[in-house]
Amino acid sequence: MAAFEYTALEANGHKSRGITEADSERHARRVLRERGLVPLTVRPTSAKRTPTERTAGHHSRLRLGPTQVVLFTRLLGALLESGLPLDDALSAIAKQSSDPALRRVVLDVRSRILEGQSLADAVGQFPRAFPEVYRATVGAGEQTRLLPLVLQRVADYLERRQEVTQKVRLAMIYPAVLTLVSLLVVGGLLAFVVPEIVKVFEHSAQRLPGITLALLAASDFLQHHGLLLLAGVTGSVLAMRALLQRPGLRRRWDGALLGLPVLGMFYRENDAGRFARTLGILLNSGLSMLEALSIADKSVVNLVLRAELEDAASRVREGEALATALARAPHLPPLLVHLVASGESAGELPRMLETAANSSERAVQLRLAIGLNLLEPALILTMGLVVLGIVLAILLPIFEMNQLV
């Protein structure tokens, strides 16, 4: 059976879209009529489309989130381990899933497998849904006939990676909200509260303190040019993002980040952990060292560090030991190099890479916790000082007026 996308009318006249399995387009229309639907359009999914349609589908709609990929991988591994054939396992997952995007991808993968493709080739047609490490690991699992075990390892890897990302994002929510609220409070005071209060001083002949004059100037600027300032900041951020798409500028930016005292170490440990865990899972799945290195390099976000790892991979290709090649990378944590050397000498490189990844992840979480513990009181103190300055700027002229009276 193949997968077909359809648009049909329900009994109440509403349009519905979905995917169904059938032997042919005519069979698909008959299935829809049996379900009480009036088919309007029925066409094969991207497995049967033209190359142009296939490419457009890849870049526009066929995308899955990390949670969806983990769920699919766990279910597929469990069903295959129970002895279910691959096409039946995929069909069961599609029937069970209530997510339209996941169901469509699963049925499309199944139709490709029924055409004779391997699972790795089938999921490889959806680069926005399945990362490269996923496709390579699945291919190694098929070659070694350990696909159920490999799928469970991939699910563990993706789940662990998602947990680390979520922890970082959740940890940044409070400082981000606190900063936003602080800016809104200060902006509201300058734009709406201060102008009303300082009207008292307009007809006064007294000389205002410098802090009050500065406050009045800031309030006047925000009132007349606030929207322009907001547009300028937004434009600067968007321009910066666009400029960082250029490899040369991005490389210089990444190099500057690595040179920062605290953030530099954070970025090093984070990328080192991603590299070590990716390389470990690939080697554990049966890939050769060179194949695993060529894929693990791409998991590193920082371009400077990625270039160093690519240089290390080329040295390994020339016959150099991995630990020796990694030792030439100046931005890699020394502990990673030491653990890789121990793993190579003991013949337990995947296990040592996992240990290195765990160590890097703990270091990232520790530095993140310390940084946030310092950042939160600093933000509160800064907010307090700004509000204190506004209050003083308003009260000082009032005190001087009382003294004159």
β-pair type (15-22, 2-9): antiparallel
Q: What is the pLDDT of residue 206?
A: 64
Q: What is the pLDDT of residues 66-91, one digit of tens each?
A: 888 888 899 998 999 888 888 888 88
Q: Indicate the SS3 state at residue 21.
A: strand
Under the phi-then-psi rule, with left for phi > 0, alpha for psi from -120 to 50, and beta for the rest, what region is 272? alpha
* Listed residue (350, 284, 340) closest to 309, CA to CA: 340
CB within 8 Å of 300: residues ≥ 6 apart: 271, 274, 275, 306, 309
Question: Is the full-model pTM beyond 0.85?
Answer: no
* Listed residue (137, 165, 163) closest to 152, CA to CA: 137
Q: Indicate the SS3 state at residue 15.
A: strand
- Could you tell me the pLDDT band of residue 339, with boundaries at 50, 70 and 90? very high
Encoded amino acid at 183, one letter: L
pLDDT top residue among 202 and 317: 317
Q: What is the pLDDT of residue 401?
A: 66
Q: Bridge-partner residues for 9, per DSSP?
A: 15, 38
Encoded amino acid at 397, one letter: P
- Could you tell me the pLDDT band of residue 50, with boundaries at 50, 70 and 90? very low
Average pLDDT of the chain, as a whole number = 81
Are 322 and 310 a contacting pair, CB within 8 Å?
A: no
* Listed residue (251, 1, 269) closest to 111, CA to CA: 1
* Listed residue (46, 113, 51, 47) closest to 76, CA to CA: 113
Q: Using alpha carbons only, what angle is made at residue 267 by residues 264 and 271, rounded to the nearest 5 degrees?
A: 145
Rg value, the chain, Cα: 30
Are 245 and 309 a contacting pair, CB within 8 Å?
A: no
Helix 289-296 to helix 303-317 angle (10° resolution) is 170
| Domain 66-159 class in CATH | mainly alpha
DSSP code of residue 209: P
- Could you tell me the pLDDT band of residue 162, with boundaries at 50, 70 and 90? confident
* CA dist., res. 290 & res. 59, Å (int): 29
* CA dist., res. 145 & res. 18, Å (int): 34
Per the CATH hierarchy, to which homologous superfamily does domain 160-405 belong?
Answer: Type II secretion system (T2SS), domain F (1.20.81.30)
* CA dist., res. 300 & res. 306, Å (int): 6
Arithmetic mean of pLDDT, 104-130:
85
Q: Long-range contacts: 370-373, Cβ < 8 Å, 24+?
A: 371/262, 371/266, 372/171, 372/172, 372/174, 372/175
Q: Is the pLDDT of residue 55 over 60?
A: no
The lowest-confidence range among 11-25, 88-102, 110-124, 241-255 is 11-25
Kindly state the percentage of the chain with pLDDT values over 70. 90
Q: What is the pLDDT of residues 8-30, one digit of tens each?
A: 777 776 777 777 767 677 777 77
Q: Indicate the SS3 state at residue 348.
A: coil
Q: What is the pLDDT of residue 352?
A: 93
Arithmetic mean of pLDDT, 121-144:
83
Q: What is the pLDDT of residues 196-230, one digit of tens each?
A: 776 666 666 667 778 878 887 888 888 788 788 88
Are 257 and 267 a contacting pair, CB within 8 Å?
A: yes
CB within 8 Å of 220: residues ≥ 6 apart: none
Q: How many CB atoms lie within 10 A of CB 353?
A: 27
* Listed residue (179, 194, 336, 219) closest to 270, CA to CA: 336
Query: What are the structure tokens assigned to 66, written together?
Result: 């990390």
